[in-house]
Amino acid sequence: MSIQKTDSSQCVLASGNKGKLAELSHALAGHNIELISQSEFNVSEAIEDAPTFIENALIKARHASQVTGLSALADDSGLVVPVLNGEPGIFSARYAMQPNTTRKPTDADNINKLLEQLQSHSDDKARAAYFVCALVYLRHADDPEPLISTGLWHGRILHTPEGENGFGYDPVFYCPKNKMASASMSKELKSSISHRAIALEALNKQLTDRSQ
């Protein structure tokens, strides 16, 4: 999955997450885009106070572009578990955050809370879940036509973590089609079927259409 060439070879990724940078950079390999983490420019984290993935991605992209003057790519993603009324949702990265503290929870903290919340749901159907990825690409901070794409990756939540790869909820997200946890997949396999892969494919088409 690859994004087509743009007017600028440099694009700021509106995230300091090394896992996202690696995954998205892999998708951009061989094209005229150098994806650079916003941490390289000392960009502060944007205040994500919107109720949806798309709106938060737009907030992050616009903020990074305003600070750096570059085009920006923002990813807002998370895990949705319908039986938990959509949790962790937009709070996926800070699901286990404790009140009155600034310490961000670790991936293990978030996974442990999710498994605790699902203890009373043993049936595979009840443990259905899906990853959501919303991508926003801005040519500049005041771009009146941001490109927006989304991707959904369906699966279910395991009872115990499996695999050593990936990040976030990958160890407990099981993909029935491939019969393995996301964290057991190779980077190549995951990058071809994940929610980000689906969103990137849609974004790629939009960029291609725009260039014609």
For the record, the structure tokens of 20 come out as 């996202």
How much is the pLDDT for 89? 97
Using the structure block, give the residue that is written with the tokens 């743009």.
Answer: 6
Any domain includes 21? yes
Any domain includes 5? no
CA distances from 184 to 112, 124, 171, 176, 190 (A): 19, 19, 8, 13, 9
Q: b or e along 55-93 (b: 16 or more beta carbons within 10 Å of the residue's beta carbon)? A: bbbbbbbbbbbebbebbbbbbbbbbbbebbeebbbbebb
Q: What is the pLDDT along the chain (212 residues), one digit of tens a residue?
A: 444 434 447 899 998 878 778 777 776 665 577 889 999 999 998 999 999 999 999 999 999 999 999 999 999 999 999 999 999 999 999 999 988 888 889 999 999 999 999 999 999 999 999 999 999 999 999 999 999 999 999 999 999 999 999 889 999 999 999 999 999 999 889 988 999 899 988 988 887 777 66
Terminal CA-to-CA distance of the chain, rounded, Å? 19
Any domain includes 1? no
Any domain includes 162? yes
Type of residue numbered 149: S
Any domain includes 105? yes
Number of C-alpha atoms within 13 angstroms, CB side, residue 129?
A: 30
| Domain interval for residue 50 | 10-211
Any domain includes 19? yes
Q: Which of 7, 49, 75, 76 is catalytic?
A: 76
Is 76 annotated as catalytic? Answer: yes
CB 132 within 8 A of CB 86: no
Any domain includes 124? yes
